[in-house]
Chains A and B, each alone.
Chain A
């Protein structure tokens, strides 16, 4: 059971209030009709499945209904940071973990 910090409510909430929505920072291609089948297939079907650092989208479904991003270590399940839609992650490397603890604190 995760304990997630909702950047919109400004609080940690129990996992029961959230839904995961998969990999973050995937943008819908600007010109879908100009995509080849392969490019479109990549966009809709292919996702990374890293062991370690992962950026993902969650939604505070029972709460403020806002989507936000989570940087998570898929091995230890540590949540390294959560951040609003439209902003970039501060942590892009597991070596930045220490920094993340400060961010979360």
Chain B
């Protein structure tokens, strides 16, 4: 807790960073913990679209100056990921780094790594930058299947066509009356980042939009 408020008196505290996950054995409840039970049916091969939550992952917003070589080097040193160009995503293993805005990126990774990664980023970065832990504030949904694109076309006004939205692209756009960061991770595979408080609404919306295509839970591996 060296960076935190209770630190040594002589060192000025610049930013409060804390391990937010309990050491004790406490059950975390993802934004959709109550909903995953509601997906109809069992795992099946025939569904046109599959929907599931990848709960409790690390979500960190990184702010900084993309034009600064130090900044991009620092991000890469900490994450192993190159700073992606606009509307792009860098990926490696369990980690992905998506462009959100000219001075903002979203880092998503394994669930328990937020604190270590934030410390590592802060160790590598200097000057004007920010790291914000959003792991509790948003969640990752996965949409997959041959009809996934149609479900997105029902939900988002953005052009989801292959020519405009190739694999690897990321956009933040309107989803129904909420919003989502939509990442195309494969031909029929999409990842959606939604805010926690809207997650139930988005989930119900997608379930409804998928009905026509025989929506099923998690895609069979």
Contacts and interface: CB of A to CB of B under 8 A. Distances in A.
Whether A and B touch directly in their complex, counting CB atoms under 8 A apart, is answered as: yes
Interface of A is mostly: loop
A65 to B, nearest CB: 6
Interface in B152-189: 157-158, 171-174, 179
B77 interface: no
A26 interface: no
Contact of A64 (B102, B157, B158, B174): B102
Interface of B: 86-87, 100-102, 104, 157-158, 171-174, 179
Contacts of B172: 62-64
Interface band, chain A:
10 to 19
A65 B174 contact: no
Which 3 pairs between the two chains have the least Cβ-Cβ distance? Answer: A64-B101, A14-B157, A62-B179
A67 B9 CA distance: 41
Given A17-B174, A62-B173, A62-B179, A10 B87 contact: yes
Interface string A58-69: 000011111000
Contact of B174 (A8, A62, A66): A62
Interface of A: 8-11, 13-14, 16-17, 62-66
A17 B102 CA distance: 17
Nearest to B102: A8
A63 B157 CA distance: 12
Given A13-B173, A14-B157, A16-B157, A66 B87 contact: no
A77 B171 CA distance: 26
30 contacts: A8-B101, A9-B86, A9-B171, A10-B86, A10-B87, A11-B87, A11-B171, A13-B158, A13-B173, A14-B157, A14-B158, A14-B174, A16-B157, A16-B174, A17-B173, A17-B174, A62-B172, A62-B173, A62-B174, A63-B101, A63-B171, A63-B172, A63-B173, A64-B100, A64-B101, A64-B172, A65-B101, A65-B104, A66-B101, A66-B102
